[in-house]
Amino acid sequence: MSPRVAIYPGSFDPVHWGHIDIAKRAARLFERLIVAVYNRPNKKLLFSAAERVALARAALGEVTNIEVCPYGGLTTEFAKSRGAQVLVRGLRVISDFELEYQMALTNNQLEPGMETICLMTRQEYAFLTGSIIKEIFMLGGDVSSLVPPHVQQALACKRAEASCMDESIQLVSLRD
């Protein structure tokens, strides 16, 4: 395994400027960064794994040492299969640290030698979460400063699908 390869795992539902910033900064630290889009069947997601991969690829396509791919199962197993022993995580607020610390300890227990590197989110992105972005957008708010244009367009398509299928109540209730 090489410390030159790192995994940046997440749901990325949807990918936003905070994710993009962390990925680009991490890509400067490693020869190769794999943005690993986790297929979480037990989590309510707006976008499918394939859609989230496509959105992330479109957002990060110009960075030559970033690869975007889906995965399932244990993050440590995926990292090991890709020759990585470093996981990259973004920290927005102090409460993120507690969860990331617990996850880092767990990941190291599952795969001794697996390291976690946390990058501090830039101040302008500290409040961003996929849930907040989806809720703002589904309620008609402007998210143009929070996500790239192609993600905003994808959100608009999802909102249109929801109104056609009369699922808007379910989509607005993102806190469930």
Does 54 share its domain with 116? Answer: yes
pTM for the full predicted model: 0.88
Give the whole-number percent of the chain exceeding pLDDT 90: 81
Answer whether 114's CB lies under 8 Å from 36's CB.
no
Instruction: Calculate mean pLDDT across residues 125-154.
Output: 94
Does 19 share its domain with 76? Answer: yes
Residue 153 is part of which domain span? 130-172
Does 116 share its domain with 138? Answer: no
Does 101 share its domain with 152? Answer: no
Does 98 share its domain with 134? Answer: no
Does 76 share its domain with 94? Answer: yes
Does 150 share its domain with 121? Answer: no
| Range in 78-92, 117-131, 156-170 the model is least confident about | 156-170
Does 11 share its domain with 85? Answer: yes
Give the total residue count for the chain.
176
Does 114 share its domain with 159? Answer: no
CATH number for the domain spanning 100: value is 3.40.50.620
Q: Is 162 exposed, middle or buried (0-12, 13-18, 19+ CB in 10 A)?
A: middle
